[in-house]
Amino acid sequence: MVKTAAAIARLGTESAFEVLARAKQLEAQGRDIINLGIGQPDFQTPEHVVEAAVKALRDGHHGYTPANGIPELREAVAEDLELRHRVSVDPASVVVVPGGKVTMFFAVLMFGEAGAEILYPNPGFPIYESVINFSGAKAVPIPLREDNGFAFSAEEVLSLITPRTRLIILNSPANPTGGVTPREEVDRLVAGLEAHPEVAILSDEIYSQMLYDGREHVSLLQYPQIRDRVIMLDGWSKTYAMTGWRLGFAVWPKALAEAATRLAINCHSCVNAPTQFAGIAALRGPQDAVAEMMSAFDMRRRTIHRVLNDIPGVSCVEPAGAFYAFPNVSGTGIPAKTLEVELLEQAGVATIAGTSFGRFGEGYLRLSYANSQENIRAALDRIAGYLGNREARSA
């Protein structure tokens, strides 16, 4: 019998992939499933971006690139951030990686070890807790609450800091809640962090361009007083519908960019060249496709929010960002995981239990509205019908 390292048993997972596999299985058996489970845009990557990758291949870009990314791509990232967040970024502090997740892993590896504590949002992207546990550090949840619009509370985050805290993970706009933390709250947090100069911050801003009703994005890069300890994670997956390409980046504090590049050299060497050329085209080319996608998401968001609130036992705060609704289903009396399984198996709708995003997700479901208006309406009809019949049966 082989004996694996203890850390392997501590790795968690992302249930969205498991729900997707089960949904595919049911479809293969002839069942009609509407998938509101998966967190990826239902749009294709813009044509000019695809063409840039094809051209790069034809032009012979088949070899390794610098481990931290092609210089032109890192320059394009810096220009884009200057434009969007009005911050000055040195392309030397940008590290390009195969997807947003990789930055998460690197940051946690850099700060996590036995005896250390890492704060992370809960409910939140499940990989945060998983990789913190893997690193040996203690995962300390930052509870996100519905009555606060699922924004984090600066006061609460600061109250969780101990002498062992090494890293705080933040995510706004947030998965799975669609919550967005307002600038005043971020200001308060940053002011409080000045008393904790030894604590680093990983700010996951992968949904920074997915905001509604004119909300502004607040980047942690905009605070010079903590700039030397902020790792800002972003990428192409969501904004440019490029989840399968595997392309992301982070702006690292100057002192840590080299360590991050070393992790890249030890792990994957570099992102494949054609994908990096596609990344340049995405940033420097026309942005109409992004605007079109966002206007479609906004319409769906309004539909899903309105219809969910009409279902007895269900209530939903209006999502402010990303493409997820996080309805409170506690009024149905059904535990989140049971409801997820029943909706998939009985009603033919794939959703994700709030508990897949941490224990503070009990009583909630995540519905991704990266699906057509027609499918969203049909899925909500199925959910309402199923809950109604279930209620009638148990009466």
Closer residue to ligand PLP in complex, CB, 293/311: 293
Q: Which of 37, 41, 46, 100 binds ligand PLP (CB under 6 A)?
A: 100
Q: Is 80 exposed, middle or buried (0-12, 13-18, 19+ CB in 10 A)?
A: middle
Q: Which of 74, 101, 229, 300 binds ligand PLP (CB under 6 A)?
A: 101
Per-residue string for binding with ligand PLP, 14-53, x by CB under 6 A?
-------------------------x--------------
Q: Find where tokens 């219809």 sit.
A: 307
**Spatial separation of the C-alpha atoms in residues 187 and 273, rounded to whole Å:** 39
Q: Which of 68, 222, 243, 272 binds ligand PLP (CB under 6 A)?
A: 243
β-pairing, 117-122 with 138-143? parallel
Among the listed ranges 49-57, 59-67, 97-105, 277-285, the one in contact with ligand PLP (CB under 6 A) is 97-105
HSE of 267, CA atoms in CB hemisphere, 13 A: 16
* Minimum gap (Å) between residue 30 Cβ and ligand PLP: 30
Closer residue to ligand PLP in complex, CB, 245/277: 245
Among the listed ranges 28-36, 93-101, 145-153, 329-337, the one in contact with ligand PLP (CB under 6 A) is 93-101
* Minimum gap (Å) between residue 195 Cβ and ligand PLP: 27
3-state helix, strand, coil in the chain (%, to 5): 50, 15, 40
Closer residue to ligand PLP in complex, CB, 202/349: 202
* Minimum gap (Å) between residue 258 Cβ and ligand PLP: 23
Using CB under 6 A as the binding rule, the residues of this chain from 170 to 199 that contact ligand PLP are 171, 175
248 binds ligand PLP (CB under 6 A): yes
Q: Which of 235, 327, 358, 361 binds ligand PLP (CB under 6 A)?
A: 235
- CA distances, 177 to each of 125, 239, 366 (Å): 10, 18, 7
How are strands ordered across the β-sheet holding 365-368?
324-325, 365-368, 352-353
Buried b (16+ CB within 10 A) or exposed e, 270-285: bbbbbbbbbbbbbbbb
Closer residue to ligand PLP in complex, CB, 210/314: 210
320 binds ligand PLP (CB under 6 A): no
- Position 115: which residue type? G
93 binds ligand PLP (CB under 6 A): no
Cα Rg of the chain, angstroms? 21
**Spatial separation of the C-alpha atoms in residues 257 and 19, rounded to whole Å:** 36
User: Number of helices and strands (H, E) in the chain?
Assistant: 13, 12
Length of the chain: 395
Among the listed ranges 28-36, 61-69, 99-107, 387-395, the one in contact with ligand PLP (CB under 6 A) is 99-107
Closer residue to ligand PLP in complex, CB, 203/332: 203
99 binds ligand PLP (CB under 6 A): yes
3-state secondary structure of 210: coil
Q: Which of 105, 106, 111, 125 binds ligand PLP (CB under 6 A)?
A: 125
3-state secondary structure of 49: helix
* Minimum gap (Å) between residue 174 Cβ and ligand PLP: 7
- Beta strand spans in 183-319 (E): 200-204, 230-235, 248-251
Q: Residue 289 is encoded by which pair of tokens?
A: 């496709």
Contact residues for ligand PLP, defined by CB under 6 A:
39, 99-101, 125, 171, 175, 204, 206, 235, 237, 243, 248
